[in-house]
Amino acid sequence: MNTILRQGGRLAGRSVAVLMETDYVEPELWYYLRRFAEEGVALRLITRLWGQRSITFTGHEHQLPITVDGDLETLDASALDALIIPSGMVSDRLRYSERVDKLAPAVRFARAAFADPAVLKGVICHGMWLLSPIPEVVRGRRVTCHNNLIGDVRNMGAVFADQDVVVDGDLVTARSADHCHLFARTLIDLIAARADRTRRSVLERMARAT
């Protein structure tokens, strides 16, 4: 899918990645691709490539294909401004590990992102599944999720909030794929605000140095 970036968009130069696997929710992903392009961002679609150059995944409802060549196992999570863990079966598939005593690569990647407060984390709907092997990253934090996962997040030690979108510091959560527009709006505003603060801080340091 070709997306035309808005020149001079307020998020131009920012790096945002979306985890991908088969059974992704097509309207959700297509919304992100268009909406972030409007702000000047070409989303990075990443997955576990299993040693391949690319993998073509199919969507949940319409079986629409999309090819992903971003390898999460070679990407530094700290290089991102934001990481999106989307709806659907993506997280369930990505948390698979052939070694039951080891975390899946995508889970390790998520843990690295959570360890860096400079990376904004966005988790929507069933995206919470990916975090179930590392419950400490959401323990004590306010989150929302799909109604089917409320028991799961409470068992993970998180505090469920009955809201469509919840912001807890560097973590943004949303209830379902139907709320992807509200979720994206919140992420975009927060990324822009963080970028503005960084820009002001750099200018202030430069001014003090002169």
Going by pLDDT thresholds of 50, 70 and 90, the confidence category of residue 130 is very high
pLDDT at residue 204 in the model: 60
- pLDDT higher for 36 or 1? 36
pLDDT at residue 201 in the model: 61
The alpha carbon of 208 is separated from its chain's Cα centroid by a whole number of angstroms, namely 36
DSSP β-bridge partners for residue 17: 44, 83
**Number of C-beta neighbours around residue 18 at 10 A:** 24
pLDDT at residue 55 in the model: 98
* High-pLDDT (> 70) share of the chain, %: 93
pLDDT at residue 40 in the model: 96
Average pLDDT over residues 110-128: 98
pLDDT at residue 196 in the model: 82
DSSP of 52-71, one letter per residue?
-S-EEEEBSSS--EEEE-EE
- pLDDT higher for 138 or 1? 138
Average pLDDT over residues 118-147: 98
Residue type at position 10: R
Determine the Cα–Cα distance for residues 115 and 171; give it in Å rounded to an integer: 12
pLDDT at residue 3 in the model: 81
pLDDT above 60 for 27: yes
Give the H/E segment covering residue 203.
helix 180-209
For residue 83, give the nearest of 176, 14, 19 by alpha carbon: 19
pLDDT tens profile 175-205:
999 999 999 999 999 999 998 887 666 556 6
pLDDT tens profile 165-181:
999 999 999 999 999 99
**Cα atoms in the Cβ-side hemisphere of radius 13 Å centred on 29:** 31
Cα distance from N-terminal residue to C-terminal residue, the chain? 47
pLDDT at residue 195 in the model: 87
pLDDT at residue 210 in the model: 66
pLDDT at residue 197 in the model: 81
How is residue 158 written in tokens?
A: 């998180």
Angle at 162 between CA 157 and CA 163, to 5 degrees: 115
